[in-house]
Structure 1
Amino acid sequence: MTPEAPVLDVAVVGAGFAGLGTAIQLARRGRESFVVLERADDVGGTWRDNTYPGVACDVPSHLYSFSFAPDPGWTRVFAPGAEVQEYLRECAREVADHLRLGCEVLDAVWDARGELWSLTTSTGPVQARVLVLAAGRLTAPRIPDVPGLGEFGGPVVHTSRWDHALDLAGCRVGVVGTGASAVQVVPELAGRAAHVDVFQRSAAWIVPRGDRPFSAAERAGFAREPETARRLREDTFAEMERGLAARRLDPGALAALRRRASDHLRAQVADPRLRAALTPDYEIGCKRVLLSDEFYPALTRPDVRLVPSAVRSVEPGSVTTADGRRHALDVLVLATGFHSTVQPYAARVTGRDGRTLAQAWEGGMVSHASTVVHGFPNLFVLDGPNASLGHNSAVHVIESQIGYLLGALDHLAATARPLEVSLPAQRRYTEEVDAMAADSVWLRGGCSSWYVDARSGRLTLLWPDTASEFRRRNGTFHPAPFS
């Protein structure tokens, strides 16, 4: 008879930035037994999955890494996706003994009698006193609900599931979407394919990227003097923090950001008709502000065409847009983003009284401290409700949440009683976040975006204040809100 596996202190679900950061800090503490469960065969999360041509980080490299595991080896101001993935693989080496790859969590149930989480996984059961969900928000590709999509006949590929065997030579390619992945992939497809149609439902605000390689001397300096890289990180963080003012509708900051984007469009697109089609009809910052120096020039190529109309239907070998025009195509690329406000893992997590996390969030994601949820004892959600940023690096928020988690673990060790945040505390926090968001461009900018939950109209994805304020409020555990 196989002996029952021991009860672990912590089970972490996901091996992207949040999961690996948590694992590294737990390992360095050396206090808790833990495991990291990852359904894929490699670490990296978003950076493992997104390998489309041109994929790169849109946060400066030195800020897009852990402060406790800096990487002086970045080759560019904005790291290519493969470089970010290799950085995460390097981080994972420190906690390799705690990783279970190819292990999908099928469900997680709170056992009130045993005061622990009981997990069913694809490789067997796991029990842990604390469950950390680090599954991310960019994991489930959003496939547009367009009639006939399954009948296209040719290759249909989402950017997050790129097929590297796909040969585009001589092909007519349609790209659906003009968001963050589209502005990176379209310039790469131009010239590879015979022709590229870019289908735009709504225009995006784009500002200059200013990417460049770090010189050999700069890279040597970062490696030789870590303080230089640290100062660059701090200066970059401070500069990005100033970007919040525009999102909070400060007139001067908003006008300056709008002018920067408008000047960029004017400088790169001479054709007034194309320029008009690429000018958004909502306030800048309402949707994600994109960075690119290559997207606009790609659209001016003779073998690339902007189609300022949404795809209405798909037929074998063609699509029809909302303006009634038919476009013959061989390949369809979906740059259509992810299900971000409805977390796919939520239906698999059952808390106290048999209620799933999906049911608790059916009116939109809620939490306390953007990390804990009423009805789910000893559960910590990283990179979940109001735990992303529209102006700065998400890694700063993740580190803040890890700090909160470690404080909670210390409290649990001292009291040996499950931690469940009270409903009044969760409601107060939600009301405070909603009040902060009310006068932001995300809710008053005249657009619909993936930051806002369509069911409730609430800003459920972003933290509507500075990254520094997130850490001040949510980076340290306080026991008072817990019943």
Structure 2
Amino acid sequence: MPSIAIIGSGFGGIGMAASLKADGHDDIVVFEKGDGVGGVWRENEYPGAECDVPSHLYSFSFAPNPDWSRRFAGQREILDYLERCADDLDVRRHIRFGVEVLSATFDDAAGQWVLDLAGGETHRADVLVAATGQLSRPSYPRIDGIDAFDGAVFHSATWDHDYDLRGRRVAVIGTGASAVQFVPHVAQRAASLTLFQRSAPHVLPKPDYPYSPRAVRAFRTVPGLLRASRWATYATLEPRALAFMGFDRLIKPYERRYLRMLKRQVADAELRAKLAPDDPMGCKRILMSNDYYPALTRENVDVVTEPISRVEPGGVVTDDGVLHEVDAIILGTGFAATEFLAPMSVIGAGGVDINDAWRGGAHAYLGLSVSGFPNFFMLYGPNTNLSHNSIVYMLESQFSYVSSAVAALVRTGARAMSVRADVESEFNDTLQKRLAKTVWARGCHGWYTTADGKNTQNWPGFTFAYRRATRTFDPALHDVS
């Protein structure tokens, strides 16, 4: 049986290891640079952190959880779930915590991957799976003078819980998904909050509510009820894909919902104008919150749309020359999502660096494999992100595909399999043509696209179509040695 190395212990790493174990594999090592499982849900513990996909669907189908306390679970509850999964699925004993993979190089002669680990150790594996995700590396803005700021500076993904916000003048830079969640909490505690907004997001009401004890008991005891809830949620969310695929009429109801909430929650016309996005709805990530707009109407909150010029020791200076004096700067600037696998170095067959293969932007066959990189798979790789449904559903499709690939290695006795260059090229050419017809191609600039405007993130279709495409692994589409 082949040896398998997995990098990362979030949803992807835990689920992949569990799926391989279910197929009878035990020679598995999961490398985790942190001190615990959870990935993005371990790192992002800022106030208000929670999921924007209903919990019954944002969980493994093979590890259902009837005990979610509410429809949209918070960070701590999701992390607790992943901790339990690591134990219940017998994955934890395969994890090496506190071990960062610095580089992975394919040994052509041996047909193995050689992993260089922090501390000088090396590890060899027949199959390598990167489960590092798209949201693992915080993105820090390049602002002149920020390193010389006298006060506290921290990113939402590295929240400083020892810093007391009470009585402080706080600047928040960025208005993405994390900021929309933590801004209301900061506004309640800080003496003042100045929100620097480069572009306004579309925000929809969040249909969240706690599950009653009676409902939780029913999910535990009524046969099939939890599964029915999961599939009902899926069936509700999945048709929304059409709204992003060019069927503009289907996004109109969401536009009206956003406008109604904005008008109802923000009475001041000038502030409403600031909070009105310039981009078509759906071009950037649509956010959900019931308390973001009300937080911005507080007397201690100011929304600044003037671009930031620089940071001085005493505050933030905008292009109009105004110095906004603050005691702390919180960065809600998201993640370096298009920089897949970084800062890890990945060298494939013949010494080819994956960064050279991706010079025009990341790409992969089915978002999973790259030509010239044998026995190497990525979970939540290029163009597998969603705007309409649960990434866990996509991950489970990928688990099945990788498991089938490993089974094909065993069945055929092959040492290495690498997707053919023509197969990957044809797949990605078709993918980019489809993306050109979506709402994401309407000219907005966000984390879905590279600096050159290439969409390397999103899947332009239904998740059930992706599951069908990943249902089987075909050795005939691969170079086999």
Q: Give yes or no for TM over 0.5.
A: yes
Query: Displacement, 1:86?
Result: 0.6
Moved more, 207-216 or 122-131: 122-131
Moved more, 240-249 or 129-138: 240-249
Query: Displacement, 1:327?
Result: 0.4
For 1:270-289, what aligned pairs fall within 5 Å after superposition? 270-289=267-286
Q: Percent identity?
A: 43
For 1:99-118, what aligned pairs fall within 5 Å after superposition? 99-118=95-114
| Structure 2 partner of 1:389 | 386
| Structure 1 partner of 2:459 | 463
Whole-angstrom distance in 2 between the partners of 1:383 and 1:259: 32
Query: Displacement, 1:225?
Result: 2.3
Whole-angstrom distance in 1 between the partners of 2:307 and 2:69: 38
Instruction: Report if aligned partners of 1:318, 1:326 keep a CA contact under 8 Å in 2.
Output: yes
Note the alpha carbon deviations across 1:133-152, whole angstroms, 9 max, x for none: 01111111110001001011
3-state SS of paired residue (1:305): strand
Query: Displacement, 1:176?
Result: 0.5
Whole-angstrom distance in 2 between the partners of 1:208 and 1:386: 27
3-state SS of paired residue (1:63): coil
2:140 pairs with one of 143, 149, 153: 143
Instruction: Report if aligned partners of 1:148, 1:315 keep a CA contact under 8 Å in 2.
Output: yes
Note the alpha carbon deviations across 1:155-210, whole angstroms, 9 max, x for none: 00100001111101110000101110011000001121111111100000000002
| Structure 2 partner of 1:4 | none
| Structure 1 partner of 2:40 | 46
Q: Which runs of 5+ in 2 are unaligned?
A: none
Note the alpha carbon deviations across 1:204-240, whole angstroms, 9 max, x for none: 0000002111111111111112511111111111111
Q: 1:227 to 1:322 in 2, by over 3 A?
A: farther
Instruction: Report if aligned partners of 1:318, 1:328 keep a CA contact under 8 Å in 2.
Output: yes
| Structure 1 partner of 2:19 | 25
Instruction: Report if aligned partners of 1:346, 1:358 keep a CA contact under 8 Å in 2.
Output: no
Instruction: Report if aligned partners of 2:168, 2:192 keep a CA contact under 8 Å in 1.
Output: yes
2:417 pairs with one of 416, 419, 428: 419
Q: Which runs of 5+ in 1 are unaligned?
A: 1-6
1:443 pairs with one of 441, 444, 449: 441
Q: Does 2:349 match 1:352?
A: yes
Counterpart code for 1:24: A
Instruction: Report if aligned partners of 2:308, 2:317 keep a CA contact under 8 Å in 1.
Output: yes
Counterpart code for 1:17: F
Counterpart code for 2:37: V
Query: Displacement, 1:122?
Result: 2.5
Whole-angstrom distance in 2 between the partners of 1:105 and 1:355: 18
Note the alpha carbon deviations across 1:321-357, whole angstroms, 9 max, x for none: 2333220000000000010011243651110111111
Whole-angstrom distance in 2 between the partners of 1:103 and 1:127: 15
Moved more, 224-233 or 280-289: 224-233
| Structure 1 partner of 2:116 | 120
| Structure 2 partner of 1:78 | 72
| Structure 2 partner of 1:266 | 263
Instruction: Report if aligned partners of 1:39, 1:103 keep a CA contact under 8 Å in 2.
Output: yes
2:5 pairs with one of 8, 11, 31: 11
Query: Displacement, 1:475?
Result: 3.4
For 1:45-64, what aligned pairs fall within 5 Å after superposition? 45-64=39-58
User: How many pairs align?
Assistant: 475
Query: Displacement, 1:394?
Result: 0.6
Instruction: Report if aligned partners of 1:207, 1:292 keep a CA contact under 8 Å in 2.
Output: yes
Query: Displacement, 1:268?
Result: 0.9
Counterpart code for 2:417: L
Instruction: Report if aligned partners of 2:102, 2:344 keep a CA contact under 8 Å in 1.
Output: no
Instruction: Report if aligned partners of 1:72, 1:226 keep a CA contact under 8 Å in 2.
Output: no
Whole-angstrom distance in 2 between the partners of 1:310 and 1:174: 14
Whole-angstrom distance in 2 between the partners of 1:266 and 1:222: 37
Query: Displacement, 1:315?
Result: 0.3
Q: TM-score, normalized by length of structure 2?
A: 0.97
Instruction: Report if aligned partners of 2:49, 2:75 keep a CA contact under 8 Å in 1.
Output: yes
Query: Displacement, 1:265?
Result: 0.8
Q: TM-score, normalized by length of structure 1?
A: 0.96
Instruction: Report if aligned partners of 2:108, 2:350 keep a CA contact under 8 Å in 1.
Output: no
Counterpart code for 1:458: K
Q: Does 2:213 match 1:216?
A: yes
Note the alpha carbon deviations across 1:289-340, whole angstroms, 9 max, x for none: 0000000000011111111233221000210123332200000000000100
Q: 1:125 to 1:436 in 2, by over 3 A?
A: same
Counterpart code for 2:185: E
2:373 pairs with one of 361, 373, 376: 376
Q: Does 2:135 match 1:134?
A: no
Q: 1:254 to 1:323 in 2, by over 3 A?
A: farther
Whole-angstrom distance in 1 between the partners of 2:229 and 2:86: 25
Whole-angstrom distance in 1 between the partners of 2:230 and 2:391: 14
Instruction: Report if aligned partners of 2:361, 2:456 keep a CA contact under 8 Å in 1.
Output: yes
2:81 pairs with one of 82, 87, 97: 87
Instruction: Report if aligned partners of 1:136, 1:384 keep a CA contact under 8 Å in 2.
Output: yes
Query: Displacement, 1:101?
Result: 0.6
Whole-angstrom distance in 2 between the partners of 1:62 and 1:322: 46
Whole-angstrom distance in 1 between the partners of 2:449 and 2:151: 33
Counterpart code for 1:116: Q
Counterpart code for 1:74: W
Counterpart code for 1:453: T
Whole-angstrom distance in 1 between the partners of 2:230 and 2:86: 22
Cα RMSD of the aligned pairs, angstroms, is 1.3
Whole-angstrom distance in 1 between the partners of 2:158 and 2:341: 17
Query: Displacement, 1:153?
Result: 1.2
Whole-angstrom distance in 2 between the partners of 1:132 and 1:346: 16
For 1:204-353, what aligned pairs fall within 5 Å after superposition? 204-345=201-342, 347-353=344-350
